[in-house]
Structure formats: structure tokens, C-alpha cells
Amino acid sequence: MVVREYEGVRRKQAIGEMVKAIRIDSPGIIASFGEDAAVIEHGSEALLLAADGIWSRLMEADPYWAGYCSVLVNIHDIAAMGGKPLAMVDVFSISDTGIQKQVIAGMHDASLQFGVPIVGGHLHPDTPYSVIDVAILGVAPKDGIIYSHTAGLGDVIIAAVDLTGRVHPSCILNWDSVTMKSAAEVRAQISVLESLGRDHLVTAGKDISNPGIIGTLGMLLEVSGKGATIDLDAIPRPDLKENGMTFEQWVRIYPGMGFVLTARESCVEEVQRRFAAAGMTAAVIGTIDASRELRITYKGEDSSVFDFAQNGIMRLFSDDVPCHTP
């Protein structure tokens, strides 16, 4: 199966061993590994803390887009938790001043567009390689957080994506739906997730990241201890022929704005309405079950993608590596 063997999925397999090596119990940590952001108790609210880095191949292909994405992926992580992003810091290792200027320009433009400032960081100006990593701080009401591990039996699965965009010219597995949008448009899309968490309209969620739509759903199922069957034909997509894409490419792509969510069936219509108002398409693509296996169907045929009882994506399932507090 192309999704199971996709590099964006296989790269996640090292996470479990790292978690075993570094995790310690700490009071005040409400949730951590397996979520898009750690959730830290802070009075009547919760702080959200996340970090992400950019593949070196993207830095080499398009430094400006790499800088832009270093901000974008972190904002996605806070949004996916139902939070409001507050500020970022970066660690920039650079060997080429030409690349440096382009990366910084991309970071600046994304920061300005989304209204999330970069407030500090660290610079390595003499490394033999070029890498950008960003950490982000967000905030959310304690009772309005969207977790990854809370999908419930019988919940429907919703894929929400901004289909108005283009395949990015520097990366065939990036769907750019953001650089051509106004600040008001992208901020409205982020705010949808805040409202869904605040109004308890979804039961779980993740932003669609490097593993693509199916791989991201797999990570949500893994930490929720659940399974699902999805219909490939129900996945929202742009005009593939017009955009020079195959469906296989689309399900692996990183979208400029995209989320996988679970919800009670009674909430689906309102969830779809809120996304539509922000220019995004939200479609029901499947249902959560107790199988601990992700299966796909297409035109009457079905097959297994991931069997989490045998092997996970992040490999976090073990008694000694909980991803959240009980």
C-alpha cells in the first residue's frame, strides 16, 4: 500500500523509542506525546506548546517556502488543538547567507499574515548545513481543547481541506492554499478550530501533516486506541486533472490548510457549515470502530492500511508510554 510505505509515514516510526527514552512524569502536564501540542495547566486556561522542523530537501528546493512552512506547520499544530497561537521562537542553522535571507523572508511573511510574532530564538551562523526549527506557544480554555486521543466509538470522521490552491511549484507533495490568501482569510480558517473546540462540536482532531490525509488519520486512531473504515471516494479533493495530480499524490500531500476530525453525527452539519463559511470543504469520509485497524474502501472493494494491534505508525502503544494523563 502506497500510504503505508510513504516516507512521510515511515519517518514517524522512530517517535516511540524516543518517547520511551525521554519521558518523565511531571505535575501540571495534562497531555503530551501523541498530541499535536503538549497541554500544560495554567490557571483557568491551558498553555499549548509544540515544535516542528522542515525537511532539508525543502530547504534546498525553495528556501522561501521552507521558511514560510516552518511557521505554517506550527500554527497548524496549535489550531488543531482548538487553541489560539501566541508567539514563536526559532533555531536557525545556516551555511549560506543567500538561503538565510530567503528563509527569513518566508518566516516573516507567514508570521505577518497569520498575526503570530516570532519573539526570539537561536542562530548557528557557521554550520555545514541549513536547517530551520520553530517552537510555538498557544493557549486554549481547558474545556475547549481538541485532543488526538479522544475519538469515540461510532463517531464520524471528517476531512476538512481548503481546496482552492495549487500544487506548490517547488514540491509536488505540498498543496499551497495560503500564500495567495489574505490575512483575514487564513486567520478565519484557523479560528474555525477554536470555535469547534470551544463549542464541543468535535471529539478529536489532528492537522493533516507529512503522512497525508490517511496517514494523519492513522496517527489519530493509534493514540485513540480505535480503528476505522473510510471511503476513499468521499475524500474531498480539487480537480485533479486540472491541477496535474493523481489521487495517490493527493492523499499523500501536505495541504496549506487541512484537518482530520471526529464528531458525533448530530454535530456534522454545523461543523461543515463553519468550515464552509471560512472557504473550506468538510466531508464525512468514514466511521470510528473498535477494530484498531484502519481499512479503506473504494467502489465496493476494501483493504487494510494499518493494523495498530500489530504495529503502529508512531509506535506509542505500550503500557509504559502513555501519551496523556489518565
For residue 106, what pLDDT is reported? 97
Asked whether the predicted pLDDT for residue 197 surpasses 50, the reply is yes
CA–CA separation, 149 vs 160, rounded Å? 19
Domain map (residue ranges) of the chain: 1-25+146-321, 34-145
pLDDT score, position 314: 58
CATH class of 1-25+146-321: alpha beta
Count helices and strands in the chain by DSSP H and E runs: 10, 16
Question: What pLDDT was estimated at residue 285?
Answer: 98
Per-residue pLDDT, 325: 39
- Average confidence (pLDDT) over 220-248: 96
pLDDT at 34: 87
Place of cell 548545513: 129
pTM (whole model) above 0.85? yes
Q: Which grid coordinates are listed for 61?
A: 528546493
Query: How many Cα atoms occupy the beta-carbon half-sphere of 208 within 13 Å?
Result: 24
Single-letter residue type at 302: D
Residue 110: name the closest of 80, 66, 77 by CA. 66
Higher pLDDT among residues 23 and 153, named by residue: 153
R_g of the chain computed on alpha carbons: 19
CATH of region 34-145: 3.30.1330.10
Amino acid at 190: I
Specify the range with the lowest mean pLDDT, choosing from 50-64, 114-128, 259-273: 50-64
Confidence at 6, pLDDT banded by 50, 70, 90: very low
Q: What is the pLDDT of residue 28?
A: 87
Residue 128 confidence (pLDDT): 87
What's the Cα-to-Cα distance from 223 to each of 148, 181, 227, rounded to whole Å? 7, 33, 10
For residue 4, what pLDDT is reported? 46
